[in-house]
Chains A and B, each alone.
Chain A
Amino acid sequence: MLRRASELLIVLGVALALAACGGGAEPPSPSGGEAESPPAATPAGATISGVIKFTGTAPEAEPILMDAEPICADKYPEGAFTELVIANSNGTLQNVFVYVKEGLPDQEWPVPSEGVLLDQNGCRYHPHVLGIQAGQTLIIRNSDGILHNIHPMPVNNRPFNLGQPVVMDSEKSFPTPEVMIPVECDVHDWMLGYIGVLNHPFFAVSGSDGSFSISGLPAGDYVVEAWHELYGTQTISVSVAEGGTEQIEFTYTGS
């Protein structure tokens, strides 16, 4: 509780600051930065890439009982399983959110006008873990055509809880950086996803080969953090030269 309270104070500070610069509310349009014409972006910036290694054994994925929703159950002829830990066959880990935590120059990064898609398909979130910029449009799609309620539970942002009873899209955005926001559907208690919100574009999610790549960075000294929903966070400090590429490697250990 105490931790919460102090966090909230910080949040309040951030929110006040945001309000002061005119982007406080939560309008459908992206906040602040976008209006400024695309700045000297990053055509030939530096790149940090690498791989999330995984050693040890992952907890066994548990079967999900989807009998109540045949439309979803039918999408998994082999049965559906939880996505808590997805270890790849090449000894790497999927669904790790990797982002630049510290070291970026104090500037505003343009918010892409294109939205990011969060698709509810087969009573699951696709992707399971996604990154988005603060103020960028989150397109929430219901591909199943049965009732989902999209219910993110942020601390630094306002929550929302929208019923989507048919195939449809809704659009929302988060004005304040927050790593990570859990997303749930109360109708289907197994549905769980995570959204990382940053005020810059330097993030990635490890894929089915465990690799990630963050590009377009200015030269600098950075702290890069990796986040996994079960195994938590790790950081690595790394310096990149103008236009250069650095390889880093995180290692998570199962039981």
Chain B
Amino acid sequence: MNRLPFAPVLRRSLPAALAGLGLALVLSALHSSKSPASAQPSVDGKSIYLERCAFCHGENGDGNGPVARYLNPRPRNFTLGQFRFRTTASGELPLREDVITIVKQGVRGTAMPRWEGVLSEAEVEAVVDYLTTSFVPFWGTYDPPVIAIPDPPRVTAGMIEEGAIQFQELQCWKCHGEQGRGNGSSALSLTDETDRPIRPADLTKAWRYKGGSDLVSIYTRFSTGMDGTPMPSFYDVIDEEQRWALAAYVRSLQTGEPSGESVLQAAFTSQDLPTDPDDPLWDQADPTSYFLTGQVIVGPRWQTPGVDAVTARALYNSTNLALLIEWDDPFQDTQGGGIDVLPQAGTYVDLETFPQNVGPFADGLAVQMPAMLGEGVAKPYFAWGQPGNPVNLWVWHASDQVQEFIGTGLKTEPAAQANTNVAAGADWTDGRYRLILTRPLSTGDPDDIEVKPGQFIPIAFQAWDGSKGETGTRLSLSSWNNLVLEQPTPIAAYLYAGLAVLGVGAGEWWLYRRVRS
């Protein structure tokens, strides 16, 4: 079965909806191309290219394949001869091995699939030789100077300290932001080699590193620069020791990948619930992180979401529940009210015609729970519920309003509830939002879910990034997880563990189905 090789790819790529899209496209191509798994592999580079690569990279290698207009970043235009992932000096062509390496590993968080395990070694080499010699200017005309990368040293605290100084002195923060969240002062004006906007990497998200989040990959990126992007080479301005220190510091900025743990445990406190995100009381609540993916269920499908993860904590006391939700968004968009001009189409958003200056739209976040909970009531559809089985949506916008809605599916606009019983307080600092939502456990409002300790309450998160043009159903969303108001009973621990496993399974199954369909 030619679908099997994708299982590992799929798991690695779960966070990125666009990777999903890429895979979906690849999968459909595979289905249509009825390649018999048993037949001897073709090692004709050109036919592999036309079959596997051309619908993204274009038959002429110009990056203009039929699906290119739906992708961000766009597939590489090989005829410009600029490669991001190299071991050669700034501006030079990559080595043949560099291209082979990146084709095998794919570009994480983008539509560029991982081809290792899908194509054989010989096939990868053949397709790389075909594309380089057919499309890449200067290919084979000279020997590009290589940047030798020695073995990495063992990372020490001292190195990280020294690296922090380098990060300051080399002014990486002008693009990447003080905390590395991709929100530097120059970040909004950057463009790539085709004059399209490009954002600096969020260095805190290990799972978003396109070329690898390990020490050697980081060292390589800032030493060689990433041609075709604003990311310069800094090789000449620091020595080897300083380079390793800088790499170690960048690595230390990385936070872990959301683990797939699906249960958000609300800790009990007898005190008043905190309204300040810096309140030490929050330390009593375990942070749990969730991936969000683009909304690709109803058209226009949004394959390039802004917010790809949120971290939540929960506390409750005898009367109220408080959630602290944190997520990275490099630019704060507080102004809403922009008119959405996008035609409702049944397809993916065409990024070529997507207007650059839609909006303004305010950033936003929604917490979703079922509107009804109880024996025999099925969980509503994870994306805004469904007719007959609605959800509660606590929708906060950076214009600092919070309002409760009833959702009955993505096809109908959520209906505002008569009363909003949720209070919100938010703070945006250096590329990160921290939002506190507080609600009485029981509101007496017939539209609201009642929150009781010990229960498993399905909970999901959705986010909008205004400066990415997100509003309405152009948003990113998580699958269902569970909120549990902790009761200190030992049995619960087992239950959580079991549920976590179930939760992961379900989430993956959902994405897998999406990707396959």
Chains A and B belong together in one complex: yes
Question: What is A's interface to B at a CB cutoff of 8 Å?
Answer: 1, 4-5, 8, 11-12, 15-16, 18-19, 24-26, 68, 146-147, 149, 151, 153, 158-166, 168, 170, 186-189
Query: Which of B64, B79, B236 is A162 in contact with, Cβ under 8 Å?
Result: B236
Q: Is B189 an interface residue (CB 8 A)?
A: yes
User: A244 CA to B225 CA in the complex, in Å?
Assistant: 50
25 A-B pairs with C-beta separation under 8 A: A1-B64, A1-B79, A4-B80, A8-B137, A11-B137, A15-B137, A15-B141, A19-B141, A24-B142, A68-B186, A146-B171, A149-B230, A158-B81, A160-B233, A161-B90, A161-B227, A162-B232, A163-B232, A163-B234, A165-B169, A165-B170, A168-B237, A186-B191, A188-B186, A189-B189
User: A168 CA to B233 CA in the complex, in Å?
Assistant: 15
Q: Which of B82, B225, B231: most chain A CB closer than 10 A?
A: B225
User: A16 CA to B225 CA in the complex, in Å?
Assistant: 26
Inter-subunit contact A158/B138 (CB<8 Å) = yes
Q: Is B185 an interface residue (CB 8 A)?
A: yes
Residues from 86 to 117 in B contacting A, C-beta threshold 8 Å: 89-93
Report the minimum CB–CB distance from B221 to chain A (whole Å).
12
**Given A186-B186, A189-B189, also A159-B227 (CB < 8 A):** yes
Within 8 Å CB of B186, what residues of A? 68, 186-189
What range describes how many residues of B lie at the interface? 35 or more
**Given A12-B138, A161-B233, A162-B233, also A186-B225 (CB < 8 A):** no
| Residues 213-243 of chain B, each 1 if its beta carbon lies under 8 Å from chain A, else 0 | 0000000000001010011111011000000
Report the minimum CB–CB distance from A165 to chain B (whole Å).
5
Q: Is B504 an interface residue (CB 8 A)?
A: no
**Given A158-B91, A186-B190, also A25-B230 (CB < 8 A):** no
User: A185 CA to B406 CA in the complex, in Å?
Assistant: 49
Question: What is B's interface to A at a CB cutoff of 8 Å?
Answer: 60, 62, 64, 79-82, 89-93, 137-138, 141-143, 145, 169-171, 174-175, 185-186, 189-191, 193, 225, 227, 230-234, 236-237
Within 8 Å CB of B145, what residues of A? 25
Within 8 Å CB of A15, what residues of B? 137-138, 141-142
Inter-subunit contact A162/B90 (CB<8 Å) = yes
User: A146 CA to B171 CA in the complex, in Å?
Assistant: 8
Inter-subunit contact B82/A159 (CB<8 Å) = yes
User: A186 CA to B225 CA in the complex, in Å?
Assistant: 13
User: A158 CA to B193 CA in the complex, in Å?
Assistant: 13
Closest A residue by C-beta to B91: A160
Within 8 Å CB of B225, what residues of A? 160-163
Please provide the 6 A-B residue pairs with the shortest distance between their CB atoms, ordered closest to farther: A186-B230, A160-B91, A147-B171, A163-B232, A189-B189, A149-B232
Inter-subunit contact A5/B62 (CB<8 Å) = yes
Within 8 Å CB of A1, what residues of B? 62, 64, 79
User: A114 CA to B142 CA in the complex, in Å?
Assistant: 26
Within 8 Å CB of B141, what residues of A? 12, 15-16, 18-19, 24
Inter-subunit contact A147/B82 (CB<8 Å) = no
**Given A24-B142, A186-B175, A187-B175, also A164-B137 (CB < 8 A):** no
